[in-house]
Amino acid sequence: MQAAPGISPAIPVRLALPVALGAFFLSGFAALLYQVIWQRMLVIFSGADVYSVTITVAAFMAGLGCGSLAGGYIADRLPRGWALALFGASELSVAGFALISRWLYYDFLYGQHGDLARNPLTMGVILFLSMLFPTFFMGMSLPLLSRALTSAVETAPGTIGALYGVNTLGAAVGSLVTTWFLLRRLDFESALHAGVSARRPPFPWASSPCQPRPGRWPPNCPTRFGRPPASGLRPGPPPTGSRAL
């Protein structure tokens, strides 16, 4: 049977979790790479005092928390394939922001509107809001990927714990490598591009709304939510409750 257009050949489910763990390690690596570089670029705009650094870190953590809450709420109400698709979209959103971040933080804020930093309140609002968009999507990634990889409540703790662990480890490695290696050899924009390369969706079909099928990965993909694909394959039933996995 032919796969739906634009979908890569299926791989066994037993390989899905190791692939996702490796990709989520890189996602954590890229997240801290971005934070280190963004904070250094924002310091050029706001100055290197304790208030600006505190606001930047607070915005980073607030975005992660809000994104995690939103991602958990959404993931609980989606089939696994749609959770995977939204995970891919969230990763691409962060990568897209990273590509324009040098222009936003340096060319636009510092180069064209540097006088805004003279007002502490205005500067604080700008610093906070400028970090919320990418960190919100970073926070969504864990609950969405956990939903996509978990088919039963019994397996959820191990899957979520493994994903959280490798992501945190990747973040630690990313902060060290960025500070002690990348920024000593690359400029900000080149280092950001390295992070974008790492923060790609773990599967080439992660941006497609797919439905799970037993024993294989990726799932079958309908052409539209709630409708079967042209091949006649019907998607699996949606979750029966808010806690269904």
Whose CA is closest to 25, among 245, 207, 200?
200
Task: Provide the pLDDT for residue 120.
Answer: 83
**Residue 194 neighbours by CB under 8 Å, 6+ apart:** 33, 182, 186
In a domain, 29, yes or no: yes
Task: Provide the pLDDT for residue 219.
Answer: 45
Contact 221, 4 (CB under 8 A): yes
pTM over the 0.75 mark: no
Whose CA is closest to 9, among 206, 205, 215?
205
For the chain, the domain total comes to 1
Point out which residues pair with 213 in neighbouring strands.
Answer: 216
Task: Provide the pLDDT for residue 216.
Answer: 44
Task: Provide the pLDDT for residue 53.
Answer: 82
Q: What stretches in the chain show pLDDT beneath 50? A: 1-11, 202-245
Residue 213 phi, psi dihedral angles, 5° rounding: -135, 145
In a domain, 150, yes or no: yes
135/171 Cα distance (integer angstroms): 13
pLDDT tens-digit series, residues 134-180:
999 999 999 999 998 887 788 888 888 999 999 999 999 999 999 89
**Domain boundaries, position 46:** 11-209
Task: Provide the pLDDT for residue 69.
Answer: 95
Task: Provide the pLDDT for residue 24.
Answer: 92
Other beta carbons within 10 angstroms of residue 102's beta carbon come to 20
Q: How many helices (H) and strands (E) does the chain have?
A: 8, 3
In a domain, 147, yes or no: yes
In a domain, 193, yes or no: yes
In a domain, 112, yes or no: yes
Domain of residue 170, CATH code: 1.20.1250.20
Helices (H), 76-155: 80-102, 113, 120-149
